[in-house]
């Protein structure tokens, strides 16, 4: 099991916490149910474009559909 706690940089600093990550972009996408499990492909493509990053710039992906 795992959990992620997200908040603004200001809130983290107010609580005395040091931010360890930054959300640069996010995206959603819908695909035909016949290709179950494929949904992350167009969503990741859109998020990479929005963030001006390439897939090789990312060390690890955690995808949950």
Task: Read off the pLDDT of residues 15-57 as tens digits, 9 standing for 90 and up.
Answer: 999 998 888 999 999 999 898 888 899 999 999 999 999 999 9
Nearest to 40 by CA among 28, 51, 48: 28
- Report DSSP letters for the chain, one per residue: --------HHHHHHTTPPP-------------GGGTT-THHHHHHHHHHHHT--GGG-S------
Torsion of CA 54, 23, 61, 42, to 10 degrees: -60
Query: Cα 60 to chain center, whole Å?
Result: 10
Task: Read off the pLDDT of residues 4-23 as tens digits, 9 standing for 90 and up.
Answer: 889 999 999 999 999 988 88
């Amino acid at each position: 099991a795992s959990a992620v706690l997200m908040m603004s940089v200001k809130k983290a600093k107010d609580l005395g916490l040091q931010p360890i990550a930054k959300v640069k972009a996010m995206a959603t996408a819908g695909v035909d149910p016949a290709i179950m499990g494929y949904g992350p492909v167009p969503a990741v493509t859109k998020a990479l474009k929005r963030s001006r990053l390439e897939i090789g710039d990312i060390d690890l992906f955690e995808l949950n559909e």
